[in-house]
Chain A
Amino acid sequence: MRSEPVVQVQVLVKRYGTKTAVDGLDLAARQGVTAVLGPNGAGKTTTVEICEGYRRPDSGTVRVLGLDPVRESAALRPRIGVMLQSGGVYAGARADEMLRHVAQLHARPLDVDALIERLGLGSCGRTSYRRLSGGQQQRLALAMAVVGRPELVFLDEPTAGLDPQARHATWDLVRDLRDDGVSVVLTTHYMDEAEQLADDVAIIDAGRVVAQGSPEELCRGGAENTLRFSGRPGLDVASLLKALPSDASAAEVTPGSYRVTGKVDPQLLATVTSWCAQHGVLPDRISVERHTLEDVFLELTGKELRS
């Protein structure tokens, strides 16, 4: 695997009038799947569209596969695949017709029939694009992004509005692309999508990357984890606190329901259970809660991911 980034964005700034959409953003996407995760209006699409060469940055540098997306667009375009958030197809074109057309613009495209079958677009038949369902339109846009056998694919919210089945079909294709050595940069505001697919996640808010790393790193680092147990009400929390490491905290959240926060590891769990044993407490429920990307996002930005 190559180690240099497929996408390198440094102190990117993009303004629309007085509104700053991207505000000094740094992002490095390496080979594999990179998810750009953030709420609506965070600057995800603007960033990706700058990488695709659609917009010029106001300042900062962007390199995609080592190329400047605006000045070296002609060299870059054949090497990337693009899925827009919506549209991109003639209203009167059939799905297979449009896909074949995009294939014809490339030197060594995928087998169009196989791709149509793979994405379940065969049932579209002679239906024109404007009469396809939203899910069919999304899958066609995805097919158009990959048919040219690109090195790098940009997917802007590839599963927004899809039903669970179509979502999983999209996820499966993204995994196959990754396994075959295609790099994928996708934007999403679904944290489960980022957790499922991404080798690397960049959490973005108000035009900046607030955290970047693998989903595991992000959930481990920074965020505190939680252990909960239930017992009889009114246990001596102060004595439990004494038994715990100094950076942990404990509280009786509601009568009989206790919460320990801190670095939850096997040692901490053992400390809690042995304290229970010493105090003759049989916890009738004990659970370790792992932080999700959604929690991480909430802690970093104070905002809900999906508003």
Chain B
Amino acid sequence: MTATGTYSPQPGAAPLARMIAAQAVLETKMLLRNGEQLLLTVIIPTLLLVLFSTVDVVDTGDGAAVDFLAPGILALAVMSTAFTGQAIATGFERRYGVLKRLAASPLPRWGLMTAKTLSVLVTEVLQVVLLTVIALTLGWDPQGSALAVIALLALGTAAFSGLGLLMAGTLKAEATLAAANLVFLLLLVGGGVVVPLDKFPEAAQDVLGLLPIAALSEGLRDVLQHGAGMPWAGLGILTAWAVAGLAAAGAFFRWE
């Protein structure tokens, strides 16, 4: 036994901050490299924003269409990354043993989850910047406080992450893929993203209004289109979804 051989043991974990940063960078790279993920997080929100702002497909009420659409599309961007994208990616990571293998690495499980959240936030920042620039060139005139917008986006991210991870950690990867896309489509149509909620029957409106996507898109619209203060009702609904979703994900998530 040579003390200085190539492989002689020198075990040790990297500093926690370095591990989490490295994990977040890798997760973000994997997301940006994945064509289907980009379709969901970048291309669909961009197309919807441009199409519905420039072509009169839905009646978006008084004022410029883009002022109605931009908040909804921002909500959609959050949902596409925190819920749909995260659910599908995490589901397949679970299926292919990535989560299992990383669970045996020095990176703690909570560190992996922190990195996933950071990666979601980085992606959302890129989405918000891109969509904001496009909306502004389409004549968007945003109102309200940035703080209220950030609070909504943050709670929306927490709510959708909880639901996405719950799905990824309990269903088969293929089922997650199908269900996450279906939910994305249903919530896109029925969550006040591009179709105003008041187009639906009154009884349906009350139920739809409780959906996390509706709370987020309507909350953003109240602030950005109508200049409202803190949209407490929407924040309350999102908090309830976040607590329930994250608690359920924490309880039922299976790593393999």
Point out residues on A near B: beta carbons under 8 Å. Answer: 1, 52-54, 74, 77-80, 82, 84, 86-93, 97, 101-102, 104-108, 110, 114, 144, 146, 148-151, 176-177, 179-182
How many whole Å from B21's CB to the nearest CB in chain A? Answer: 9
Q: Which of B1-27 contact A (CB under 8 A)?
A: 1-3, 5-14, 18-19, 22-23, 26
* CB atoms of B2 and A179 under 8 A apart: yes
B interface, how many residues as a size bin? 35 or more
CA distance A149 to B29 in the complex (A): 26
Known contacts being A87-B96, A180-B5, is A54 close to B104, with CB within 8 Å?
yes
Which residues from A are CB-within-8-Å of B30?
90, 92-93
Q: Across the two chains, which residue of chain A brings its CB closest to B18?
A: A104
Contact A110 B7 (CB under 8 A): yes
Chain A residues whose CB sits within 8 angstroms of the CB of B11 once the complex forms: 78-80, 106-108, 148-151
- Please determine whether A90 and B19 come into contact, CB atoms closer than 8 angstroms: no
Which residues of chain B are within 8 angstroms of A181 by Cβ–Cβ distance? 1-3, 5, 7-9
- What distance in Å separates the Cβ of B216 from its nearest Cβ neighbour in chain A? 29
Listed by A's residue number, 17 A-B pairs whose Cβ atoms lie within 8 Å are A54-B100, A54-B104, A77-B106, A78-B106, A84-B97, A87-B101, A88-B98, A89-B96, A104-B14, A105-B19, A105-B23, A144-B101, A148-B105, A149-B7, A176-B5, A176-B6, A181-B3
- Asked if residues A180 and B7 are in contact (CB atoms below 8 Å), the reply is yes
Give min CB distance, A90 to chain B, whole Å: 5
How long is the Cα–Cα vector from A52 to B34 in the complex, in angstroms? 31
Q: Which of B5, B13, B18 has the most CB of A within 10 A?
A: B13
Bound together, the chains give a CA A104 to CA B18 distance in angstroms of 8
In the bound complex, how far is the Cα of B28 from the Cα of A238, in angstroms? 80
When distances are taken between beta carbons in the complex, the residues of chain A under 8 Å from B104 are: 52-54, 77, 80, 82
Inter-chain pairs besides A89-B101, A105-B19, A107-B13, 14 sampled, C-beta below 8 Å = A53-B104, A54-B103, A77-B105, A78-B11, A82-B101, A101-B26, A104-B14, A106-B106, A107-B10, A148-B11, A149-B8, A179-B2, A181-B5, A181-B8
B229 CB contacts on chain A under 8 angstroms = none
A80→B103 CA distance, assembly (Å):
12
A74 to chain B: closest residue by CB: B108
Q: Does B210 contact A (CB under 8 A)?
A: no
The answer to whether A149 touches B13, judged by C-beta atoms less than 8 angstroms apart, is no
CB-CB under 8 A from A151, the residues of chain B are 9, 11
With A1-B1, A74-B108, A180-B6 as given contacts, are A108 and B12 in contact (CB-CB < 8 Å)? yes
Q: Name the 9 nearest CB pairs between A and B, nearest first.
A: A87-B97, A180-B5, A107-B12, A88-B101, A180-B7, A78-B13, A82-B104, A78-B106, A151-B9
Contacts of B22 in A (CB 8 A): 101, 104-105
The answer to whether B171 has its CB under 8 Å from any CB of chain A is no
Q: Considering the chains assembled together, what is the distance between the CA atoms of A82 and B106 in angstroms?
A: 11
Please tell me if the beta carbons of A105 and B7 are within 8 angstroms of each other in the complex. Answer: no
Per-residue 0/1 for B99-125: is the Cβ within 8 Å of any A Cβ (1 yes, 0 no)?
011011111100000000000000000
Interface of B is mostly: loop
Nearest-Cβ distance from residue A259 to partner chain B, whole angstroms: 44
The CA-CA distance from A88 to B5 in the complex, in Å, is 28
- Closest A residue to B6 by beta carbon equals A180
Report chain A residues within 8 Å CB of B8: 149, 180-182
Question: Is B92 in the interface zone, CB < 8 Å from A?
Answer: yes
Residue of B12, B93, B101 touching A84 (CB-CB under 8 A): B101
Task: Check A90/B9 contact, CB under 8 A, given A106-B106, A179-B2.
Answer: no
Choice from A54, A89, A114, A148 contacting B106 with Cβ under 8 Å: A148
Q: Could you tell me the distance between the alpha carbons of A108 and B8 in the complex, rounded to whole angstroms?
A: 11
State A48–B87 Cα separation when bound (angstroms).
30
Residues of A within 8 A of B100 (CB): 54, 84, 87-88
**Which residues of the other chain, B, contact A176 by a CB distance below 8 angstroms?**
5-7
Given the complex of chains A and B, what is the CA–CA distance between A92 and B96 in angstroms? 11
User: Which residue of the partner chain A has the closest CB to B26?
Assistant: A101
Which A residue sits closest to B109, measured CB to CB?
A73
A78-B98 in contact (CB<8A): no
8 Å CB contacts to A: which residues of B209-256? 256
Chain A nearest CB from B207 CB (Å) reads 38
Complex Cα spacing A87 to B99, Å? 10
Docked CA distance A260–B89 (Å): 64
| Complex alpha-carbon distance, A148 and B14, angstroms | 10
Bound complex: CA A89 to CA B105 (Å): 13
- Bound complex: CA A177 to CA B5 (Å): 9
Q: How far, in Å, is A54 (CB) from chain B's closest CB?
A: 7
CB B173 to nearest CB in A, in angstroms, measures 11
User: CB-nearest residue of chain A relative to B98?
Assistant: A90
B7 near A182 (CB under 8 angstroms)?
yes
In-complex Cβ contact of A180 among B2, B34, B93, B98 (8 A): B2
Chain A residue nearest to B27 (CB atoms) is A90
Judging by beta carbons under 8 Å apart, are A149 and B9 in contact?
yes
Complex Cα gap A180–B107 (Å): 26
B101 near A179 with CB under 8 A, answer no
B20 to chain A, nearest CB (A): 10
Known contacts A87-B96, A88-B100, A88-B101: A105-B5 contact under CB 8 Å: no
CB neighbours (8 Å) of A104 from chain B are 14, 18-19, 22
Contact A107 to B96, CB < 8 A, known contacts A176-B7, A182-B7: no
